[in-house]
A and B are shown apart, each in its own frame.
Chain A
Amino acid sequence: MTLQIATDVDGVATSSALSRGGTWLAAVFLSATFVIAALFIPVTGRFEIAIGLAGLAVTGFGVIAALRTTGFARAIVFTVAACAGLYVFAFISASVSVSEGGGAPSSDYVLLSMPEFAVLVVGIAARSLARSLTLGTLAFVLGAGGVQLAAWQAGMALAVDIPVVASYLALCLSVSALWIGRRDAARGTALMSGAALAEERDVAVARFNARATSWLHDTVLADLRALAALPPGELDDATRQALDRDLANLADVSLVLDAPGLGGSVSRALAKVPALVGVVRDAEQQGLELVVTGDVEALNELGSAVTRSLERAISECLLNVLQHSGVREAEIAVMSSPPEVSVMVSDSGSGFDVNETGDHTVGLRMVVVDSLAEIGGSVQIWSRPGAGTAVFMTVPVAA
């Protein structure tokens, strides 16, 4: 959109990110449980633990499938499957613990708690708060409830698993907070999108209009005036050609609208390179007209420290153009030559003597040269009085 601010319009990106995060969370808890339980096979010699591990694997698949699916009914089925797998694991683990004797733990012990945590996240990526809470509650009732049931059936002492109950409540709260925030953000998003699109429309139509009227003024109107001034008689070749051109363009106005610059401002062309958007916007706000060329996407490969230093350096160069060059136009050219990226900021202004110490050079030396030197970059400055200035900055891709 015009404002160069992307928004997660319908929450798809957030849901997908929650799904990915939940997958990792569940995977770590289930893996830790799996490793610990597997360690007990050689220690106890109880090979039925392997069946429990199979149940744990089913739990893992169920949780991940529930997180990834977009269908609510399927999510419920996967959640039930995950809880069934957890029940099998809990029953076998509890049975082994009880039969091994020697201070058997109660039903809130950590080997059962960790997979319960994993199951609780099944609802976080659902596409509505109600569905999210429903799935989370289902997982809590069937998962934590199933573990208690299995422990009871195995003769294990029962205990309320406070961390699991607290985690369930915390998840409900967190998901609610996210959804409420998302609702507010969605309202803002809708307004912004509408405003930006309306603005795009106005600006585009205005540009087309301006281009068309300018063309009409310079051609058709000028030719009509020329005809009005001509004496009666045969038309000369130049007049015939002008009339042919006018009639051809009026027959296909799209030719008139193919002129460059009708697409939008410089900052809008930089959608892929957020690092430059702020710099360009600031410079435009101060009245500079910028042309950005070259392999601008190479800037996305830079490390954050390098990006920050380069942003500062480019800003300083543009500030120098504004303050000292006497012109309002500048160019930023980006060149990629791995493992380095080079950026040249140039203008065709008044220029200066690079060997002199003055206002022109202090900022460049202090900010540009020093800050880029800190991150392993280098700077070359070409300038002569009356011949413009070019600052060529080279930075390493990784620093």
Chain B
Amino acid sequence: MNPRSVRPPRGSTALELDPLGAISARGFLVVVAAVSLLCAVGLTITTADQVSSWPLAVAALSSLVAGYAWFLRSAFRFDHGVTSDRFSIAFALVAVATVLNSLSCLGSNIVVRDDWGLLTVGLVLVAAAPFRTYNELRGYTAVAGAGTGLLAVLHGFASLGDGIPLPVTVLVAVAPALAMGLASVAYARQLLHGIYAERLQQADDRDAQIDELRRRFVDDDVVGEIGSLRSDVVPFLARVRSAGRLTAEDSARAAELAQTLSAAISASRMLDSLGDHVDLLVDESGLSLRMHEDDRATLRTLLVALQDSPHTRPGSVILELLEGESDRFGSVRCASDDVRALRADVTPFLRMTRLMFRSASEQVVGEELLVQFDIDRLA
């Protein structure tokens, strides 16, 4: 499916559609934060002779650190992550750092390209690309461009008197923030379209799979395999219909076939492959078969991840499903010689479990990782 031909919902972010993308987005944010801080500290030290106010310079660095600290904290939170409000605070702190950095060398600035604030205000937008909507980023880019332009004009009048035309100074000052801001807008927009197209493609694939399964179900004559339907019942019904009359033997045969078919229908129960992924399944009330398919898929993913982890003690994965009078709940237990490493291995899937089960929680109990959850809905 072509990403250009789809129209994703306004106001959505790629991470809302693809929560697993947070893994790479967070790593990227950490690197950008480190680069920004190194760049700020490095340029402050190497251009120390241009600093006219050290309190402002220190305040600028502090504001930058606070901005990225807040951004990182938001990104690593379990709840809604980097919301619009949270990012606006992070951006405001970085923008304040840019202004303070610029003011700290007012009157003594030699070249505007040495101002690290012009870079960091663009870098924070690059880091925000996976987290926020492209419309928001467009607004922040405009703010960053306008702000850096104004600061350049200010310096043009106050500091830079070496004959460089003011428009050139402004262009040089604005270019990094504008380049990185527009890059983040383009990235966020394209990623959202791509992920949304992927979502629709998966929906199409799912429909195709169901059609294929339906076709195979018919072709394999699964219905005919129930009891002796094809071998006995169909010929019997065809013969009786063809004869147009019923004999006493036919009635007896019909009763016999009805009994056999009834037993076969009762025996033909729902398939359940969830138990394939655990070493012990405790499910006395047959809850597994009645759970909602989304919940079963979530549990299946977690169980497969636990079985795949090299830190899982073999034979220790237990799934327990219990049904009370008014509630249903379950737990997954998994033993390990290094439970914390095991938990780190399956962290994305624990997050997924929290996303799908309203009351899911995990804890380390001795040498076991214990995941508990309520089952609110049934299929």
Contact = CB atoms under 8 A, between A and B. Distances in A.
Interface string A212-237: 11001100110111011111111100
Given A2-B293, A198-B273, A213 B217 contact: no
A82 B69 CA distance: 38
B9 A178 contact: no
A5 B180 contact: no
Secondary structure dominating the interface of B? helix
Interface stretch (B93-101, B146-154, B241-249, B314-322): B241-249
A238 interface: no
B187 A21 contact: yes
Contact of B301 (A28, A184, A192): A192
A117 B126 CA distance: 15
B195 A205 contact: no
Contacts of A268: 203, 206
Given A178-B28, A196-B297, A197-B209, A227 B240 contact: yes
A294 interface: no
Given A17-B194, A285-B358, A182 B229 contact: no
Contact of B377 (A233, A285, A305): A285
Contacts of A252: 218
B238 to A, nearest CB: 6
Contacts of A181: 23-28
A231 B247 CA distance: 8
Interface in B176-215: 178-180, 182-191, 193-200, 202-203, 206-207, 209-210, 213-215
Interface stretch (A31-39, A49-57, A131-139, A140-148): A31-39
Contacts of B89: none
A225 B261 CA distance: 11
Interface in B327-379: 348-349, 352, 356, 358, 376-377, 379
B48 interface: no
Contacts of A3: 294, 297-298, 301, 352, 356
A1 B206 contact: yes
Contacts of A250: 223-224, 229, 234
Interface string B74-104: 0000000000100000000000000000000
Bin the interface of chain A by size: 35 or more
A243 B238 CA distance: 8
Given A24-B185, A227-B240, A304 B10 contact: yes
B271 A5 contact: no
B9 A13 contact: no
Interface centre among A162, A189, A194, A213 (most CB of B within 10 A): A213
Contacts of A231: 246, 251
B179 A195 contact: no
Contacts of A29: 175, 179
Contacts of B262: 217, 221
Contacts of B247: 232
B297 A195 contact: yes
Contacts of A300: 7-10
Interface string B5-19: 001111110101111
A240 B194 contact: no
A6 B205 CA distance: 12
A208 B265 CA distance: 13
B20 A185 contact: yes
B195 A301 contact: no
Contact of B20 (A173, A192, A301): A192
Given A29-B179, A110-B111, A208-B222, 7 more contacts: A20-B187, A21-B186, A166-B42, A179-B24, A221-B261, A225-B258, A285-B292
17 contacts: A3-B352, A6-B18, A7-B18, A13-B191, A26-B179, A28-B183, A199-B300, A204-B213, A205-B271, A216-B261, A229-B251, A233-B246, A264-B206, A267-B294, A281-B294, A304-B12, A304-B84
